[in-house]
Structure 1
Amino acid sequence: MYDVVVIGAGIAGTFIARELSRYDLKIAIVEKTNDVANSTTMANSAIIHAGYDAPANKKKGYFNAKGNALYDQVCEELDVPFKRIGSLVVAFSEEDKITLQKLYDNGVEVGVPDMEILNQEQVLAMEPNLNQEILGALHAPSGGVISPWEMAIALAENAMENGAELFLNKEVKDMKKDDDKFTLYFEDGTMEAKYVINCAGLYSDKINNMVAAPLFEIKPRRGQYYILDKSEGNLVSKVIFQCPSEKGKGILVSPTVHGNLLVGPDSEPINNRDDISTSRDALDMIRETALLTCKNIPYGKVIRSFSGVRSTADYGDFIIGESPEVKGLINIGGFESPGLSSAPAVANYVVDLMKQITGGLTEKADFNPRRRPFIRFEELPEDEKAELVRKDPKYGRVICRCEVITEGEIVDAIHRKAGATTVKGVKKRTRAGMGRCQGGFCSPRVVEILARELKCDVKDIKLDGPSSYILSDRTKNVEE
């Protein structure tokens, strides 16, 4: 029996599992897909919000600024790229300027540091490529950009290094509570636990409803985006927001942590929680709306469009806490924006909650908060590159030319804990396939490397999820 089962290996589940792995607990993370960070955590704005937007009287407002402040340390410990580039909310009307003041006042109340309201001249001096008709902006230096999937993968890896177990392709089909234990049912068996932490994202309401009366309902909303080539990543230097509405924080224009330019998202209610399709109408709307912020966005340099689905709850806020009906079940529901920003603070809160529920947790004497650094070959000094290639020639073979990713990096990503088993898994961990050609050059080599390292046939390698096989058979009878 496990002490704790965490359902879902997105940003919430992996943060909580990592923090709980500090204690003498037997922990399992169960994830229904074949990889960590495969749903909302993989497709979002990748912003660590400063925290001025969410009302102070809501959980979103309480956790955002607190979570933001924790990212420097956790990213340093786990070797995850994070840049605190700051954000601007821009105003185009007198009404917008009133909104800026409200955001500023709310930010002060929740503890956002170093904010200031800038006039037109100050904004354009900071960001000369913005619309010259801007009247002012709210500047929050604590805003930042990150790679959410790299964060979740690092958290899962560190949790596993500290004793947690990760089970992939493990969808919870049902759950029962009898006496002092939960029984989770899967297609291939069962699992027992004293406590269950529900971090199932878009399906968190369904998990709750297996053992308790309905507490909330997820109303999914889809957001679509453009990604532009790295050559355009310096169009702006900060995260640029338009004034928010009830649908969300509006269309943003932002550099990514790896140097691309991100434009989006819209916010569209949908019925299918797994629908990550894109549409011409939505992308056209995003394109036109973003031009209000910046007149010269070079859409000819778009290398990809994508969408993600956020788990908006009818509750209107995060759902965080022990079920009032079923003791030992902790729900993390409605974890939409600013969920990514809030996640480290929410994880700490859940640890404190577990201490209350259990009567206390015993810390491990040998907990290691750091993971083995991830070698990023292109970022190394020339002398270190040469020495690395001398020790391991695989680092001298560039597989992804766009992002300059070597065979050594791909092999490392496969063999780490929570390692890659698919082409998309390699892409998430190394960025091989995220560049200008979007895998057109490197994907065949990635398939070969995966098959070799996993000791399977190339026909068994998938792009991503079930049935996404890339190769079906050989066209020529050639002996290898």
Structure 2
Amino acid sequence: MYDVAIIGAGVIGCAVARELSRYDLKVVLIEKDTDIANGTTKANSAIVHGGYDAKPGSLKARFNVEGNAMFDEICKELDVPFQRIGSLVLAFDHEDVQAIQELYDRGVINGVPNMEMLDREQILALEPNLNKDIIAALHAPTAGIVGPWELAIAMAENAIENGVELKLEHKVTQIEKLENGYGISTDKGKLKAAYVINCAGLYADEVHNMVADPSFRIIPRRGQYNVFDRSVGDFVKKVIFQCPTKKGKGVLIAPTVHGNLIVGPDAEELDCKESIETTMEGLGFIREQGKKSTEKVPSHAIITAFAGLRATPSTGDFIVEELTEAKGFIDVAGIESPGLTAAPAIGVYVLELLKNSGVILKEKESFNPIRRKAIRFMELTDEEKAELIKRDPRFGRIICRCESITEGEIVDIIGRKAGALTVDGVKRRARPGTGRCQGGFCGPRVMEILARELEMDITEVLKDRRGSYLLTGPTKVDTGIEESFDAVAAAKEL
């Protein structure tokens, strides 16, 4: 019997898990997929929002501002890349100026610090690549950029180090109310928990409906992005927004914490909660809309495109509450933008709800908030590199040439708590495959390392989700000869 079961290991579920790991509780984090952060968390704008956009008095407004203020300490503790670079919302005409003035006024009410209105000269002094017909902008210096999946993975890793149990590939199929708590059925077995936290993202409405009458819907809203090579990563220094609409914050242009440039998203409501394919229409739209901010978008440097789904709630606001008809069951649902920013504050608030529901929160003396630092070989001094290679020669073997990632780094992230189990899992943790060739050269080597470290046949290695096998068998005749030259020669003779 667990004290608390968390359903969903996106950034929200991981934030809740880490907060709960501070206390003397038996906690399990349940995820239907093959890895942490495999839904909305892995495919978004990676922005830490200032907090001026949300309606005053809403949960979005509260948790955005509270969460934003927590990022410096959390990212330092967990060794997560984060930069507080600020954002600009651009105005091109009088109507836009009125709109950004309204955002400024909202921000003041919401408690966003240090905002300012800039004129054209001030804007272009900060961002010379923007269009010259801009007339004003709202500057929010507290906005920033972060590694979203790195944050979720780090929080989960730290939570597990402090006692939380992780169950991957456990899809919840049924929840039964018991006399004391809940029985949770998954496709891998059953478990019991006194309290349940529903952090199921796009599927939060379906999980809610397992214990209560429907009270909200989650609408999948697809957003598509282009990612640009690091050679143009300094094209803009800040997050560049256009005036928001009812469908979102518009097409943004921003640097990433890893030195790339990102442009997107569009906003398309869908029926399917798994439609993460990109489309020519969507990518064309973001390229054209991006030109409104700057005609100089370096389209020649695009290296990849991706799409993500936002969990848009029918209620118009975050849903974070205990159900009146199901005591001990807490919905954390509809966490669309600015959900990434809000995640740390939501984690703290869920503790308040649990405490009010009767959970006794006794702090652990052994809780350690510090995650072991990731090894980033190319950031070390020459002396540190030499010492590391002396201890482990695998740090002297470059696997990903685009990003200069070593075998030692890949082995390290496979062996950690909540370590990588798939090719994309390695990519999210150590970055091989994120450069210009997009894994064209390093992919096979990553597969070999995964197979070796996890003691599996290489044909069992997944790209990402269940069934995403990359190999089905040999492509050459199996001669039993190890050397590729002899194998090819033998095949020709046959």
Bucket of the pairwise TM-score, normalised by the shorter protein: over 0.9
SS at match of 1:226: strand
The one-character-per-residue Cα deviations of 1:419-449 (angstroms, maximum 9, x if unpaired) are 1111000001000100110000100000000
The residue aligned with 1:133 is 133
Q: Could you report, residue by residue, the CA deviation over 1:444-469 in whole angstroms, capped at 9, with x for unpaired residues?
A: 00000001101111111111111111
The answer as to 2:477 corresponding to 1:476 is: yes
Alignment correspondent of 2:9: 9
Partner of 2:295: 295
Give the distance between the partners of 2:19 and 2:57, measured in 1 at CA.
26
1:64 matched to 2:64? The reply is yes
1:395 aligns with 2:395: yes
Aligned-partner SS, 1:211: coil
Q: For 1:138, what is the secondary structure of its paired residue?
A: strand
Measured at CA, do residues 458 and 359 of structure 1 come closer, stay the same or move farther in structure 2, by a change above 3 Å? closer
CA distance in 1, matches of 2:179, 2:91: 57
**1:4-61 C-alpha deviation (Å, 9 max, x unpaired):** 0000000000000000000000000000000000010000000000000001121101
Amino acid at match of 1:248: G
Match of 1:163 in 2: 163
CA distance in 1, matches of 2:176, 2:360: 25
Q: Which runs of 4+ in 1 moved over 2 A?
A: none
The residue number in structure 2 matching 1:122 is 122
Q: 1:440 and 2:467 equivalent?
A: no
State the distance in 2 between where 1:91 and 1:452 align: 54
Asked if 1:19 is matched to 2:19, the reply is yes
**Equivalence for 2:254:** 254
Return the offset for 1:325: 1.2
Gaps of 5+ in 1: none
Does 2:214 correspond to 1:214?
yes
Per-residue deviation, residues 287-341 of structure 1 (Å, max 9, x unmatched): 0110010111111110001100000010000000101210000001100000000
**1:308 and 2:308 aligned:** yes
- Per the alignment, residue 34 of structure 2 pairs with 34
Cα offset for 1:381? 1.5
How far 1:188 sits from its partner (Å)? 2.6
Q: Decide which moves more: 118-127 or 463-472.
A: 463-472
Percent identity over the alignment is: 55
Q: Letter of the aligned partner of 2:198 in structure 1?
A: N
Q: Distance in 2 between matches of 1:306 and 1:359?
A: 41
CA distance in 2, matches of 1:476, 1:466: 28
List per-residue Cα deviations over 1:363-419 (Å, max 9, x = no partner).
001100011110101111121111111111111101000011000000001000001
Task: Tell me the amino acid that sits aligned with residue 422 of structure 2.
Answer: T
Give TM-score, length-normalised by structure 1: 0.99
Letter in 2 for 1:22: R
Separation in 2, partners of 1:370, 1:158: 7
| Deviation by residue 1:94-126 (Cα, 9 ceiling, x = unmatched) | 010011111111111111111000000000001
Task: State how far apart, in whole Å, the 1-side matches of 2:253 and 2:378 are.
Answer: 26
1: CA distance between counterparts of 2:178 and 2:451? 44
Moved more, 352-361 or 137-146: 352-361
The one-letter code matched in structure 2 to 1:405 is I
Q: Aligned with 1:104: secondary structure? A: helix
Q: Distance in 2 between matches of 1:476 and 1:136?
A: 66
Residue in 2 that maps onto 1:263? 263
State the secondary structure of the residue aligned to 1:384.
helix
Quote the residue 1:82 is aligned against.
82
What is the alpha-carbon distance in structure 1 between the residues aligned to residue 261 and residue 412 of structure 2? 28
Q: Mean alpha-carbon deviation: is it higher for 462-471 or for 303-312?
A: 462-471
CA distance in 2, matches of 1:419, 1:111: 38
SS at match of 2:357: helix
Distance 1:24 1:396 in 2: 42
Q: Distance in 2 between matches of 1:297 and 1:236?
A: 10
Three-state SS of the structure 1 residue aligned to 2:145 is strand
Structure 2 residue 262 is the aligned partner of structure 1 residue 274 = no
Task: Give 1:359 shift.
Answer: 5.1
| Inter-partner Cα distance in structure 1 for 2:442 and 2:188 | 36
Aligned counterpart, 2:105:
105
Q: Residue 177 of structure 2 corresponds to which residue in structure 1? A: 177
CA-to-partner distance for each residue in 1:147-186, whole Å, 9 max, x for gaps?
1101000000000000000000000001011211100011
What is the distance in 2 between the residues matched to 1:288 and 1:187? 44
Segment drifting more, 193-202 vs 470-479: 470-479
The TM-score normalised by the length of structure 2 is 0.96
> AA paired with 1:243?
C
In 1: Cα distance, 2:296 partner to 2:398 partner: 34
Letter in 1 for 2:455: K
Distance in 2 separating the partners of 1:438 and 1:107: 39
Deviation of the 1:349 alpha carbon:
0.6
In our comparison, the structure showing a higher alpha carbon Rg is: 2
CA RMSD of aligned residues (A): 0.8
Equivalenced residue count is: 480
Whole-angstrom CA distance in 1 between matches of 2:129 and 2:202: 37
- 1:476 Cα deviation after fit: 2.7
Indicate if the aligned counterparts of 2:171 and 2:188 stay in contact, CA closer than 8 A.
Answer: no
Partner of 1:423: 423
Question: Are the structure 2 counterparts of residues 3 and 158 from structure 1 closer, same or farther at C-alpha, using a change threshold of 3 Å?
Answer: same
The alignment partner of 1:311 has SS state of strand
**Residue matched to 1:358:** 358
- The secondary structure found in structure 1 opposite 2:327 is coil
Deviation at 1:222, TM superposition (A): 0.3
Shift of 1:479: 4.2
Specify the alignment match of 1:226 in structure 2.
226
Number of the residue aligned with 1:318? 318
SS at match of 1:449: helix
Output the amino acid matched with 1:459. Answer: T
In 1, the alpha carbon distance for the partners of 2:202 and 2:73 equals 29
The 5 Å alignment of 1:331-350 reads 331-350=331-350
